[in-house]
Structure 1
Amino acid sequence: MNENIEVYLTPLQTCALIPGMTKGHLAQLRYAGTGPVFLKPTPRTVLYRRRDVVAWIEASERTSTAA
């Protein structure tokens, strides 16, 4: 697979990439503006770039459970 080709994911595909994520929770994250960056090419279509989803997951890295 060519590394330069962008991979776009539907919300369902994005949920499959993130353990425990549901479409409903992903929609809540979109509404709150706290989830991965997303695209809306049409009013009823939501897409995510795979690299943005991975970056969002990576940004959640923690070394402690304290606050």
Structure 2
Amino acid sequence: MTHVSRPDLSAAVWRKSSHSNAQGGECVEVADGFTGTVPVRDSKNPHHPALIVSDGAWDAFVGSLK
């Protein structure tokens, strides 16, 4: 496993997954613009810590869903 340092997310602009349901449940949000990492969070708990994954791990995850 590769260690990914935690970026400063104070100015992050979050976007919801297009697969999140309209009732507000099961919503995943990601923030773009962080070189080498992808911050991911649960929109129902936006003040909880975000999960930080490497670009490669994110690409593999998204690729496995297609």
Please report the TM-score for the alignment, with normalisation by the length of structure 2.
0.29
Q: Judging by fraction of residues, say which structure has more strand.
A: 2
More helix by share: 1
Computing the radius of gyration over CA atoms, which structure comes out larger, 1 or 2? 1
- Determine which structure has greater relative contact order: mean sequence separation of CA pairs < 8 Å that are 6+ residues apart, divided by chain length: 1
